[in-house]
Amino acid sequence: MEDDKNGGATREERSLVAWANSQGIDGLFIRDPKEDFTDGLALLKLIEKLNPGAVDWKKVEMKPNMKVKKITNCNYAVELGK
C-alpha cells in the first residue's frame, strides 16, 4: 500500500531505509531503496556488517557502470543471503 505523505514509500520501505541507515556503515546512506539497492553494493555492505567476512570483495564490482555488473553484484548478494 502506497503512502502519499512520504513520497509514495511503503511502511516496509521506510522501515528498511531506517534500519539500513542505523547500521552505521561508512559511505552508506539509503534514501530510495528502489534506486540505492540496484547495484548490489549496499546489500553487500549490509551483509558484511551482519556477518563479517562473508563477502569476498574480490568477486564484487565496486564501480558497476553496466547493467550486467549490477546484476552480478545483486545475484552475489542473493547467493550470500541464502
Say what the pLDDT of residue 2 is.
Answer: 45
Mean pLDDT by groups of 10 residues along the chain of 82 residues: 60 96 95 94 97 97 96 97 92
Q: Which residues 6+ apart lie within 8 Å of 26 measured at CB?
A: none
Say what the pLDDT of residue 7 is.
Answer: 66
Say what the pLDDT of residue 9 is.
Answer: 84
- Residues 18 and 24: beta-carbon distance below 8 Å: no
Number of domains comprising the chain: 1
What global pTM score does this model have?
A: 0.85
* Enclosing domain of residue 51: 4-81
Say what the pLDDT of residue 8 is.
Answer: 75
CATH classification of the domain holding 26: 1.10.418.10
